[in-house]
Structure 1
């Protein structure tokens, strides 16, 4: 009886072993232990997916910037934007030396001196200095008025220059005045104590701006009906030629 039990157990164990082997071979056996715990390694296909952002090649990253200064063209776009704010030093700058940008010389941007000269006799020299910051033009001839006289001395046409006299800041120009006839042929002589020098504009006899009132000698200046004035001259010698 004992021998029969031992054989029965042995036969039973062999049958169970054979059954387990068969289950493993046909895939119906127990589940892989690792799959149940969720710690299995990813499959080969999972490891070849697109790399994460931290693993990207920096050289292939999108370099588009949200900076308005670089919008629409990277560096070139940024430079263009910066240039838009630099118009104060570009072609918009005004050249004060260009003829079209000159201002008129007048009593507001010049200093004026008037004084008799010993030679030629009966002459006075008017000196105008540009005391402003811009180049100015002296057009035609000065319009003179002694005291309250009601007439205007005529210009000496022979003294008309070939070009408008232009004064840069600090420069001077001149006009000569024949006060009275040397032979005494003039009439209506008088002694003046005040002189007003008016300036002409771009067209003859137009208003060139504020007048000047230079001082005269204490004993005054004598003049008569023969008084005449030169056009504005660049040199003192030219102003005193007539």
Structure 2
């Protein structure tokens, strides 16, 4: 009787060892199933992220008054023409995509901004790298029948806004020479990339 019990115990131990060996061999076999212990505890790949961080220092933004220096004055030998210039004095490139022409106000601001000359729109949006200048031509009045006389008043400064509902920046005329302007008939061009382009109007 003791011999039979001992034989059964040895047989059971041998079977358990064989089963353990078989299980281990299955898990170590290349190409094992996805539910193997190694696959189950391996971390999932991190999803790709689009963390570009803050814009680069040279990133493009909308031109704002604090980024620009303004100059304006009458053009010699050009009747009823005044040139507005803005130079990018910041360290970032900016553009006029949101508001492609200056919003100009004369007097007490109750009148709407000067209408734009639609045909003056350039083929591409005007952008300013640091140190670059953009231009807009102001036609100060429609003129009289003979091309000389026109109604209006003399001004030495005017308001320039770069966005709707923005507070205009007051720009004084170069040389402080007054210019006669009629806000009822005056117009302005879109921003131009060069003085040559602006002087065509």
Asked if structure 2 preserves the Cα contact closer than 8 Å seen for 1:153 and 1:229, the reply is: yes
CA distance in 2, matches of 1:235, 1:114: 15
CA displacement at 1:184 relative to structure 2: 4.7
* TM-score (structure 2 length as normaliser): 0.63
Asked if structure 2 preserves the Cα contact closer than 8 Å seen for 1:186 and 1:226, the reply is: no
Cα-to-partner distance string for 1:185-236 (whole Å, 9 max, x where unaligned): 754x111122111102xxxxx35x6643221243421011321100000010
Cα-to-partner distance string for 1:16-52 (whole Å, 9 max, x where unaligned): xxxxxxxxxxxxxxxxxxxxxxxxxxxxxxxxxxxxx
- For residues 82-93 of structure 1, what are the structure 2 equivalents within 5 Å? 92=53
The equivalent position to 2:172 in structure 1, one of 215, 224, 232, is: 215
Alignment partner of 1:104 is 2:65? no
The equivalent position to 1:141 in structure 2, one of 101, 116, 120, is: 101
- Higher helix proportion (structure 1 or 2): 1
* TM-score (structure 1 length as normaliser): 0.53
Question: Counterpart of 1:94 in 2: which secondary structure?
Answer: coil
Q: Over aligned residues, Cα RMSD in angstroms?
A: 2.3
Question: Counterpart of 1:158 in 2: which secondary structure?
Answer: helix
Structure 1 residue runs of 5 or longer lacking an equivalent are 1-89, 201-205
CA distance in 2, matches of 1:92, 1:149: 41
Cα-to-partner distance string for 1:143-193 (whole Å, 9 max, x where unaligned): 111232532211011101122110011111100000123425754x11112
CA distance in 2, matches of 1:175, 1:141: 8
Count of aligned positions:
143
CA displacement at 1:140 relative to structure 2: 1.2
CA distance in 2, matches of 1:118, 1:167: 26
CA distance in 2, matches of 1:177, 1:190: 15
Structure 2 residue runs of 5 or longer lacking an equivalent are 1-50
- Larger radius of gyration between Structure 1 and Structure 2: 1
**Taking CA–CA contacts closer than 8 Å with sequence separation of 6 or more, which of the two structures ends up with the larger relative contact order?**
2
Give 4+ residue runs of structure 1 displaced > 3 Å after superposition.
90-97, 184-187
Q: Return 139-148 or 230-239, whichever deviates more.
A: 139-148
Evaluate the alpha carbon distance shift between residue 185 and residue 218 of structure 1 in structure 2; reply closer, same or farther with a 3 A threshold: closer
Asked if structure 2 preserves the Cα contact closer than 8 Å seen for 1:173 and 1:232, the reply is: yes
Question: Counterpart of 2:104 in 1: which secondary structure?
Answer: strand
